[in-house]
Amino acid sequence: MFNNKSDYVLNLNFGDILAKTLLILLFLLFTACSSKPQKQIIISTNQWIGYTPLFYAYETGELDALNIKIVTSVSLAEAGDLYSIGKADMVTTTQHEFNVLKKTTHDIKAVILIDRSNGGDMILSNRTLRALKKSKKIDAYLEVDSINQEILLDFLKKNAISKDKINFINKDQRQIQDVKNDPDKAILIATYTPYEIPLKQKNFKEIASTKDINSIIVIDALCARDTLVEHERQRLIQLKKVIDKAIEIIEKNPEASYKIISKYFSHVSYKEYRHSLSLIKWINKPSEELLEYIQQYGYKKDDIIL
């Protein structure tokens, strides 16, 4: 029994507060149990200069904020393999790898355009073009079933060099860097920046590149599984903004970006890094004309996040 009116009010208020507190705790507990943690998105990529924005965003923590992780490899094929076996949700590709994955997995969409090669993909040789035409046998090192192959075959056709005398040797780019410049052998190498740097130091010379091969335009895109596009579109839109921001920083302050991402390009100096960047063009803000053009490569303009 209450001694006075104030004791009654005090106990009534305490009861109300306790009830409200219990309701809040139950609500928080229910919310915690019912909400699922954000799924981590894994991007499979390779060490091509055009993917520098992804490396930069990852190293600065911008991708962590979106719960996105990148896994790097030394070849286009390896990056695609990780995606095809389900070890990655997204993958960086040229149109060649995109269409290979489209045929094999059927579960892929190009969602973010990043860059196009403007001399960044190239053919090297220890022979002049004239000497290559006279050679009876040529060892050609490349990543078979990649954009390397398309570029090499286009080069052979354009210069009337028969495929019959080509010994195609499938190697990833790190293995290709170990190729010896044997003066007794005619050698062709299909590669891309910055992997060409140590090869040129061995006196391999550039005899063709995407700067002068007009028949092939190499477009790099970030691709995703259909289900990811359907369920995570807002996060992909945020990823696009992060990539755009990274590109802007790389363009304005390449030296600062080099310090952050140099570990992805071991043995590449700042000067070489700047040169490699000059061999690509960013297309993260594509024109309507480009969006129409890329559809001939299998990309769909309506899938691209602008």
pLDDT class for 10, splitting at 50, 70, 90? very low
How many independent structural domains does the chain possess? Answer: 2
Identify the weakest region by mean pLDDT among 113-117, 145-149, 183-187, 237-241: 145-149
Say if 27 falls within a structural domain.
no
CA count, 13 A, side-chain hemisphere, 262: 14
Report the pLDDT value the prediction gives residue 33, as an integer from 0 to 100: 41
Q: 265 by DSSP, 3-state: which?
A: coil
Q: Do 152 and 288 lie in a common domain? A: no
Q: Rounded to an integer, what distance in angstroms lies between the CA atom of residue 284 and that of residue 114?
A: 5
Length of the chain, in residues:
306
Report the pLDDT value the prediction gives residue 267, as an integer from 0 to 100: 86
Report the pLDDT value the prediction gives residue 2, as an integer from 0 to 100: 44
Q: Do 64 and 179 lie in a common domain? A: no
- Between these two residues, 36 and 79, which has the higher pLDDT value? 79
Q: Do 239 and 96 lie in a common domain? A: yes
Of the three residues 161, 187, 209, the one that is the final residue of a domain is 209
Say if 127 falls within a structural domain.
yes
- 140-186 pLDDT, tens digit per residue, is 999 998 999 999 999 999 999 999 999 999 999 999 999 999 999 99
- Provide the domain limits for residue 154: 121-209
Say if 305 falls within a structural domain.
no
- Between these two residues, 279 and 36, which has the higher pLDDT value? 279
pLDDT class for 24, splitting at 50, 70, 90? low
Residue 282 is part of a domain; what is its CATH number?
3.40.190.10
Say if 84 falls within a structural domain.
yes
**Res 3 pLDDT > 80:** no
CB 249 within 8 A of CB 55: no
